Structure 1
Amino acid sequence: MTNIHLIEPLQLLNDDRHIRGTRHQLWLVLLLILLGAMTGYWGYRPLADFIKVHRESLIELLDRDDPIEFPSYSTFQAKINKISDLKSLKMVYPSAPWNLQGYAVQTLQLVDVARVRPLVPSELEIVSLLPGKTLGGIYISSYGLGSVMEYNELIVVSAIANYAGEWGAWISHIYVDNPNSVAGGREIWGLPKELAQFSWEGSDSVKAAPLGYRVTVHQENRQLCSLNYSQQTLALPLPLSGNVFSADRSNLLLFKGEFKSRIGLIRGELEIPEESHFANINLGQPLLTVACEDMRLIAGAPEVVGNITAEFSY
C-alpha cells in the first residue's frame, strides 16, 4: 500500500517556520493529523495515541529508508497552534459537565474477570458479583434536541471496579458518530472514543426484527454489534447515578453520571460478530435489557483520584 498521492501534495506546501528548531517536517505533521482524523483520533493526545497504536503500520506505510521520528503530544499541540491554516481542524466541544437528552438501551451481562483483567488498569480491583464474574454490558443511545451536541453512542462496560473505596464502571470501548464528541471524550474524560456508524430500524407500525426494533453499529465494513429489542410497555420514572473510571496516561480519573429517565424492562438479543473489536470480552446474551425513554443525562467533570504506575493505553 502507498500514500504517495497524498504525500506529494503535502510536500509542496510552504513551511514558513524558521529552519532552526524545526524538528519534524510539515508534510509529516499534516499527514499524521489527516490519517488520525480519518480514523477518529481528534485532538493532541488522541493523535499521540494514534501513533502509539499504529506505529508499525505507519512505518510500513511511509516506506522510508531513513529512521522516522514521530511527533509527540506536545509537538502536535505546538504545531497546530502555530500554523494558522490548521486551526480549522480543531474540534469544538463544550466543557464538562455535558447535558444530554434522548433515548438509550442498556444490557447487563456477567463477564469473566480473567478475560477483562488485561483491559483494566492493575490499580483497579475488579469487583466480583459471583465467583470469577463481574458485571458488564452494552449501552447504546441517541442524544437529540436539548443536548450539548447531537450524536449516537455505543459504550462497552467490561467490569465494575473498586479503587480506594470508590466503585465505578470501567469502559473499555466507546464509539460515537460525531467527531466533536470524540475529541471531547478523549480530551476531557480520557475515554477511548472512536468514530462509528449507527443504524436504528423499526417503528411502532413496521418491525425491523423479530422483536420489533434493531440498532446496528459499524466501523466502515466491520460490524461491531447488533441489538434486537422489543418495545417498551411499562416504564417507571427513576433518578439514577453512578461513577465511571477512566485513564489519562498516568492519571486515574473518576467522574459521575447522573440521569433521570422512564425506565422499563424489555426483551433484548445481542449479536457480536467475531470481527468486532470487543468480541474477546465474550459478552453473552443479556441477563436484563432495559429501555430508557425521555432520558436526561449529566456527564460530570472528572477528578484525578490516583496514579497509574505504568502508563495505561486502551
Structure 2
Amino acid sequence: MTYPPEPWYLEGRLYLSVWLMPRRGLAAALPPEVRPVSLAGRALLGTAWAVYEGDGVLRYREVLRAVLVRRRCRPLVTITGIWVDSEVSRAGGRALWGVPKESAAFTVRGRDRFSARAGRGQVCAARFRALTRASPRVPVAFRVAQIRAGRLHISPVRGRGRIRLAHASWELGALGPGGGTGRHRPLLSLVCEDARLLFGEGPRHPEPGGRPCAEP
C-alpha cells in the first residue's frame, strides 16, 4: 500500500489524559531497551484521541495508549496500543516507525464525545469538557521509541497547539492496560485545538499561507 513518506504533517484536534497505573506486567509491552518512568511507584500512562483534518498529508481519526519511558536518562514515549480508521495510516505507521496501528470504526458526537470499536469489541469511549479558554500556541516536542524491523527505532514529534485544561471521563475497554474495563478518571486531561504536528524525520512542512511549521 502506498503511503506518504516521513515526516507526516498533521492538523487537527487532540484530546489527552494522563494516568498513574501499576507497573505490573507493563514491561512486556515495551521495547527491551527502555524502562517505564515511575511516579510514586507507578507508571505514567497517556491515552489520546485525535481528529486529523485540515491541510495535513492525511485525514483520519485515531485513539492510542502510550507509556512514558526512559532509555538511560533520556525520556521517551512508547505507544503500546493504537487504532485508526485509515488503512493508509495503518500501513504507513507500521512500516515507517514501528507504530502498532490497528483498524477501528469511530463514532464522534459533536466536538467532545467519541467512541471506537474494533470488530465486535469496544476499544474505548470518552467525553471531554474544556475548563479554560484556549491559550496562545504552545510548542510540543518529544520522541517515540518503537520496535521496527527488530530494532529500536526513535522518531521525533514536534509541533504547536492551543492547549486547554479539561475534565474527561473514559470507558477504557481495550485501551486500558491489559484490556481493563469500566469507567475511570484520569490524573490530568487536556484539549489541544488547532494542533499542527510533524511526525518523523525530515524537513519542516510549510503551514498554509507559506509560513513554516516551526519546531519548538
Which of the five TM-score ranges fits, normalised by the shorter chain?
Answer: 0.7 to 0.9
Show the counterpart of 1:72: none
Deviation at 1:198, TM superposition (A): 1.1
Root-mean-square deviation (Å): 1.9
Unaligned 5+ segments in structure 2 are: 203-216
Instruction: Return the alpha-carbon distance in structure 1 between the equivalents of residues 79 and 24 of structure 2.
Output: 16
Contact 2:144 2:155 in 1 (8 A): yes
What one-letter code is carried by the residue in structure 2 that aligns with 1:218? Answer: R
Counterpart Cα distance in 2 of 1:166 and 1:281: 28
Q: Deviation at 1:201?
A: 0.4
What is the 5 A alignment of 1:249-268? 249-268=149-168
Identify, as 1 or 2, the structure richer in strand. Answer: 2
Change (3 A) 1:269 1:258: same
Aligned to 2:212: none
In structure 1, list runs of 5 or more residues that go unmatched. 1-90, 204-212, 303-314
* Length-normalised TM-score, structure 1: 0.60
TM-score normalised over the length of structure 2: 0.86
Deviation (angstroms), 1:279: 4.8
Which of 177, 190, 196 is 2:85 aligned to? 177
Residue 93 (str. 1) matches residue 3 (str. 2): yes
- Paired position in structure 1 for 2:47: 138
How many residues end up aligned between the 2 structures? 199
Which one of the candidate residues 107, 111, 123 is aligned to 2:33? 123
Equivalent residue for 1:105, pick from 15, 24, 45: 15
The equivalent residue for 1:192 is 100
Post-superposition Cα deviations, 1:28-61, rounded to whole Å, max 9, x if no partner, equal xxxxxxxxxxxxxxxxxxxxxxxxxxxxxxxxxx
Cα deviation for residue 164 of structure 1 reads 3.7
- Choose from 176, 192, 196 the match for 1:292: 192
State the structure with bigger RCO (CA 8 A, min sep 6), 1 or 2: 2
Query: Secondary structure, in 3 states, of the residue corresponding to 1:181?
Result: helix
Aligned counterparts of 1:277 and 1:295: Cα–Cα separation in 2: 23
Residue in 2 aligned with 1:206? Answer: none
**Superposed counterparts of 1:56-75, under 5 Å:** none
| Separation in 2, partners of 1:219, 1:282 | 15
Q: CA deviation at 1:115?
A: 3.1
The alpha-carbon distance between structure 1 residues 279 and 128, as it changes in their structure 2 partners (threshold 3 A), is: closer
